[in-house]
Structure 1
Amino acid sequence: MQHHAPAEVKQSGVVHYTFVLIGLSLLVYVLHKLDGILLPILFAALLAVLLLPLVLRFERWKLPRVWAIIFTLLLVIAALVGMFYLFGSQIVSLRDELPKLQERGVQYFDQIQQWASHKFGYQPISKDELIDSGMESFKSSAGGYLGSTLSTTAGVLSVTTLVPIYIFCFLYYRDHMRQFLFRFVSPDKRTNVLHTMDNIQVVVQAYIQGLLTVIVIVSVLNSIGLLVLGVKFAVFFAIFASVLAIIPYIGILVGSAIPALVTLVDTGSPTKALGVVGVFVFVQFLEGNFITPMVTGSKVSINPMAAIIVLILGGELWGTPGMILSIPLVAVLKVVFDANKSTEPWGFLLGDVSDGTELKSAKSAAKEGFFMRTWHKLRPG
């Protein structure tokens, strides 16, 4: 009696893509629910990659790995404390000006109401009514504001505590994690994995170092423009807008609107307020077309359409932190896509128009990167 092997059941394309969509939906749900855990880890991973060269330099100076990481973290903390000290003095001065700005703002609001009443028959609201309605609104939502403030403060303190710990762990256990990844890969494919890891390191370092350099340059240009216009707190607003530029496309809008509004209330001159907006728009034009391409070059080659889409998706998933993380994460994802033939079309879709040549240059640049050199040292024989 002849036995026939069971016929192979082939999945239809509809069933396959249905399972893919279900898996993606579950992944997005889990990522959203675990944002409090994942966000500090992701920020720490990016910062660990950025700080790795400094740790390696300390280690080459014969410092133990633990002390090399501690000294690196202390340098970063000292830089942040110095920056907050400079910001703090400006914030205190701005706080002292707030009552005067508030009084002038109410006066301008009354003038606008009088103009609208004369032009359109609009019934103006008195200053007392405006204050009373504002107080009623504040009282009704005070509990929500207090709860959100406490939640935000707790979240910031948690992140401030956890991120340095995660950075230390990533830097200290980097060899152990690399060996962990190798256990999923056959020996003949480990060279490709090393190339991919080195490419990721190059992309992340290029993005973050370039971003910090751009922030410094844009801060200087903004400061010059605002000082020429005679804007109060020019340096503070210049740095504030430059830091907000971390959030692509949207950050500069918020960063320019606040100083323009303060200038309008302080001077009563719409022309000067428009001049403030003009300074930020001009510097943003220089940043997008000349400064950023010269600083970062072609190492982070995400096309604008993909950048806008992932920016919106990151904001929907994780809010402002998601918008900050979206570009470097998608750049890492592109490197992973480019490393596999089956996913290379998706990497091409995310990349810029000249991405073919950029991919080759990135691979050649990472030919003997940190992970490859370390592997050659650790490999027996």
Structure 2
Amino acid sequence: MTESQRWFLLIVTLILGALVYMLAPILTPFLVGALLAYLFDPVADRLEAAKFGRTGAVVTVFVFMTAVLALTVLLLLPQLGRQIQVLLERVPMIIDLVEKRLVPLLESTLGVDLAAMDLGTLKSMLAGNWQQTGSLMAQLAGGITRSGLAVLAWIANLVLIPVVLFYLLRDWDLMMARIRMLLPRYLEPRVALWANECDEVLGAFIKGQLLVMLALGIIYAVGLWLVGLDIALLIGMLAGLASIVPYMGFIIGIFVAGIAAFIQFQDPMVLFWVGAVFAVGQALEGMVLTPLLVGDRIGLHPVAVIFAIMAGGQLFGFVGVLLALPVAAVIMVLLRHLHQGYKSSTLYGSAQVAEVELLNTEADE
């Protein structure tokens, strides 16, 4: 590229970054719609190949998504509300367990004085106030309804997401072709290569990993339900969501489920069954779910996922969280090509040649 072309690309990148920063408050429904369009475009393409027509394929996808969403709301949300209420009721029991068993154990093991921890006051405060909070859903709804503008913005975003999704999904392939045609001809082959590699990375983490998270959430919830845990669904969903980072769902899930099971049953043997549930889930993830749903596609490193999400949230809020993985995938692809360019450059090659010459000189001596 010439100097002017480099400056042009830099200016365009800076302008796009500034626009994202300034328009972040209104970008959420558009980004959510774009993410859903990206996820369901392969489904629409397959239906279109089966003689549905693009609009018919999009309508079919919409009907399926609406049915799944309605089923989730009708079946899962009431159960989650009840299980959250059960969890709130047991908070004083958790504090009792910490105060009477864990604190003495730590004091005798570590030789430290933990008497300064005022757990009794905290327990009394929680025990006296949790009943007044009512249902968590009702509390959230009450907080929202106190602000008319917040309600209107929330409803507008909810209504806008399916509208944006419909039009993006209907015209997705056409938009991608037009964007490709708008690229400068000298950049188009390289950008197309990078885009394919980014799609491979995102496919592994957004498409494949979401399915793995859903499957693990179901496995953990069903397994803990068979154990008899009252808040099995809540913990299963928490562990499934945390599984976006490999092993994080297993660690968080077995820790939270172990505490909840011990408090509910007061029997150390139940910890064995909780461990068995998560061991089976981890084995299925490694041997079945990940090879089947993700395959050998290149994914993002777990540390890169954590850093990208935290950095995106810090810089751009919720919009940054939505943009974190796509941007991380692009950066990863660029760094890979930069590494390849460095390995083939004279800067790297000259040192390599010097090392070979030094070895040859030492061998002659």
What TM-score, normalized by structure 1, do the two folds share? 0.61
Contact 2:202–2:299 (8 Å) recurs in 1: no
Match 2:297 to one of 289, 299, 305? 299
Alignment-derived partner of residue 35 in structure 2 = 46
3-state SS of the aligned residue for 1:299?
coil
Alignment-derived partner of residue 312 in structure 2 = 314
- Provide the rounded CA distance (Å) in 1 between the counterparts of 2:338 and 2:25: 33
3-state SS of the aligned residue for 1:34?
helix
Contact 2:216–2:285 (8 Å) recurs in 1: yes
- Provide the rounded CA distance (Å) in 2 between the counterparts of 1:52 and 1:265: 46
C-alpha distance after superposition, 1:130-183 (max 9, x if no partner): 5459989x99xx9xx948996987776454333222222222333155324413
Alignment-derived partner of residue 345 in structure 1 = 338
- Provide the rounded CA distance (Å) in 1 between the counterparts of 2:279 and 2:261: 16
Residue correspondences, number: 323
Letter aligned with residue 73 of structure 2:
F
- Provide the rounded CA distance (Å) in 2 between the counterparts of 1:113 and 1:185: 65
C-alpha distance after superposition, 1:66-121 (max 9, x if no partner): 343222122112112222333124224425635752563465466469959x9848
Letter aligned with residue 244 of structure 1:
A
Contact 1:46–1:204 (8 Å) recurs in 2: no
- Provide the rounded CA distance (Å) in 2 between the counterparts of 1:115 and 1:238: 31
Deviates more, 1:43-52 or 1:84-93: 84-93
Runs of 5+ in structure 1 lacking a partner?
1-9, 11-15, 350-381
Following superposition of structure 1 onto structure 2, how do residues 79-158 of structure 1 map, counting pairs within 5 Å?
Answer: 79-95=68-84, 97-98=86-87, 100-102=89-91, 104-105=93-94, 107-108=96-97, 111=100, 120=113, 122=115, 131=124, 146=143, 157-158=155-156
Contact 1:310–1:326 (8 Å) recurs in 2: yes
Deviates more, 1:74-83 or 1:212-221: 212-221
Contact 1:49–1:201 (8 Å) recurs in 2: no
C-alpha distance after superposition, 1:222-246 (max 9, x if no partner): 2464245432243443234213323
3-state SS of the aligned residue for 2:90?
helix
Contact 1:49–1:204 (8 Å) recurs in 2: no
Alignment-derived partner of residue 183 in structure 1 = 182
C-alpha distance after superposition, 1:256-280 (max 9, x if no partner): 5544443343234566468647754
Letter aligned with residue 68 of structure 2:
A
State the identity %: 22
Aligned Cα root-mean-square deviation (Å):
5.1
What TM-score, normalized by structure 2, do the two folds share? 0.63
Is 1:66 matched up with 2:55? Answer: yes
Contact 1:247–1:324 (8 Å) recurs in 2: no
